[in-house]
Amino acid sequence: MTDPKSESDPHRPLPEVSLILPVFNEAQNLGSLLDGLQIALKHCCKAFEIVVVNDGSTDGTRDILRGRTDIRLLEHPVNRGYGAALKTGIRLAKYPIIAISDADGTYPPEHLANLLLRMNQADMVVGARTGAEVQYPMIRGIPKWFLVRFAEWMARQRIPDLNSGLRVFQRDIAQRFLKILPDGFSFTTTITLAMLTNGYLVEYESINYRARTGRSKIRPIRDTLGMLRTILFTGMYFAPLRVFLPIAAFFSFGFLCTVTQDIIYRDLTERTLILFVAATQFGMFALLAEMIDKRSP
């Protein structure tokens, strides 16, 4: 059954969209996915292009892509990473709205229309994997839950899906962050936090999520640690008070405890002085970083 929200409104201007599809060794899924994307975009766009970035595939993906005339093909001679492929596509896209999706068949193309419909009131719309049919590995869900809570504290708002690979955003806004967006899987995490901490309007559309065909390229431990590093880095870059003030508060609490003990025993210890200096330095560093951030264009 067709979702009524996705039906074309004759009074609503249709968007012009560049869909960026990073591909690395996805020959098994690619043909049917591209067909589905073509159908989805034809029903909701004034004009569109599907920009496929072949990120050094070695499994026959290149031959499949070169045989299609309904896509725009960009190629990396070697594998540079998921984020690097997306950045290549964003830089060379010709339309003002960027849509991204994964090439493993996990994101149903029919959700694109609803995401694009909501771009009239948002800077980015994220397909949140909270629909009725979501097949997500538990081993990835547990560490992700803690990372999302940390990211929500950093951004000071709820984040239904931190790193969904199906989203739509304004190209000119994304270009402002290209220098800090990573080349790996943390691209989506970083652009989410970058937009939220800079006051852009990010909305979420509930979508389904399928089990992928073939072997996942995500490395649970390494990519989880990478995501944590990304959250810390992005927080230090855009919300330094949220990172450094808790550290300053920790040292301040330690200082108060030790100085109280020193007063009782009438002996000012080096421990108290060290804690005082640490609390002062972290506090001043947090304020200075916040001032620099606010002065930056």
Q: For residue range 250-294, what is the model confidence (pLDDT) as tens digits?
A: 999 999 999 998 898 888 899 999 999 999 988 888 788 777 665
Q: What is the pLDDT of residue 126?
A: 97
Q: Do residues 244 and 274 both lie within one domain?
A: yes
CATH of the domain at 44: 3.90.550.10
| Lowest-confidence region among 2-6, 16-20, 197-201, 284-288 | 2-6
Full residue range of the structural domain in which residue 278 is found: 240-295
Number of separate domains in the chain: 2
Do 177 and 258 reside in the same domain of the chain? no
pLDDT at position 10, please? 46
Q: What is the mean pLDDT of residues 27-33?
A: 88
Say if residue 261 is in the same domain as residue 284. yes
Q: Does 244 share its domain with 227?
A: no
Q: What is the pTM of this model?
A: 0.81
Distance in angstroms (rounded) separating the CA atoms of residues 135 and 133: 7
Q: Which of 202, 216, 220 is nearest to 147 (CA)?
A: 220
Show the DSSP H helices in the chain as ranges.
30-42, 61-66, 82-92, 112-117, 138-155, 171-176, 187-197, 220-238, 240-265, 270-295
Residues 232 and 259 occupy one common structural domain: no
Same domain for 207 and 286, yes or no, is: no
Q: Which of 199, 219, 238 is where one domain is finished?
A: 238
| Residues 245 and 229 grouped into a single domain | no
Q: Is 93 left (phi over 0), alpha (psi -120 to 50) or beta?
A: beta
